[in-house]
Amino acid sequence: MSDVATIAHNDFRNVRRSRILWGVIALYVAFMALLFYASGTGASPDVRDTLFGAVFITTLVLPLVAIAASYLAVAGERESNTIRFLLSQPASRRSVVLGKFLSRGLLLTAALVVAVLVGVAFVLALYPALEPMALAKFTGLTLLLIGAYVSVSIAISSASASRSRAIAATMAFYFVTDILSVINAFSVKAAMKWVFGEILGLGISEELYEGLSTVISPAKAYVNSTLAIFSPENFQRIQIPGELPFYLETWFMIVVLLAWVVVPLVAGMLALDGAEIG
């Protein structure tokens, strides 16, 4: 594990110099600060109501930041051929993938912590109650979202021999699993209902459609996992009447997010193991 730690440390020192990346991270922190301030200066500020908006901002913005931070992690090294120098040191290809994942994940974790601390400062100044458990749940679930999109981006980067392929594949993944999954008007779920229900005439329940769309989208799983923060009566993101099946409960959403962290990371290690390094 020492080689993983060394790669992660060196990679973190390199990536933290990116002004464009820090600019995107600063934009996310600014959005969060504005949200907490605007909600705190309203008629009846409430932390959970503010976090409801924070989930929407985070779902759309933070995966994009994770992709920007991670899509060149390995592909950039391969295209510039600097990966040969990296592998000439006592480090395996799998250590490279793990080290890159840790460094990019740590960077995004730091950004999230800053955003949450800024939010906490506004809560202490403007809100009647802190509600630390709600803030802690939001932070923990968002860390899983970060891990999922960093893992997928690192996996795609490990399987891509050029920057152009890496950015094309990661942006396609973001568009399908984020934009087309959480915006109901033209979502993947709506497409599945049209194909399986209207065209093929399959009698699939609304619960199963929601479950399928959740499994294929870490962003959707994250949104639905926030049932742990908000009361079901006020939560309108899962449009299922009555009691939820087990595969739509918070604990299963967490399992899905963990799978999106682990499985792509393993796939990335296998992809780099079998790649030709010119």
Report the pLDDT value the prediction gives residue 1, as an integer from 0 to 100. 63
56 touches 230 (CB < 8 A): no
Q: What's the pLDDT at 218?
A: 96
Phi and psi (nearest 5°) for 81?
70, 15
Digitized pLDDT (tens) for each residue of the chain, 278 residues in all: 678 888 888 888 888 777 878 888 899 999 999 999 999 998 889 999 899 899 999 999 999 999 999 999 999 888 888 887 777 777 788 899 999 999 999 999 999 999 999 999 999 999 999 999 999 999 999 999 999 999 999 999 999 988 999 999 999 999 999 998 877 666 788 888 888 888 888 888 888 888 888 999 999 999 889 888 876 555 555 555 567 788 888 899 999 999 999 999 999 999 998 877 76
Q: What is the pLDDT of residue 42?
A: 84
* pLDDT tens-place string over residues 83-94: 877 777 777 888
Rounded to whole angstroms, the Cα distance separating 69 from 21 reads 7
98 vs 106: CA distance, rounded Å: 12
HSE-up (13 A, CA, CB side) for residue 137: 20
How far from chain centre, in Å, is Cα 24? 15
Name the token pair of 62. Answer: 């933070």
Question: Is the pTM here over 0.75, yes or no?
Answer: yes
pLDDT given at position 43? 81
Written as six digits, the tokens of 175 are 């568009």
d(CA 267, CA 245) in angstroms, rounded, equals 30
**What pLDDT, on the 0 to 100 scale, is given for residue 235?**
54
Rounded CA-CA distance 262/4 in Å is: 16
Q: What is the per-residue pLDDT for 233?
A: 55
Q: Supply the pLDDT for residue 240.
A: 57
pLDDT at 265: 95
Which residue ranges make up each domain of the chain?
A: 2-273
pLDDT attached to residue 91: 74
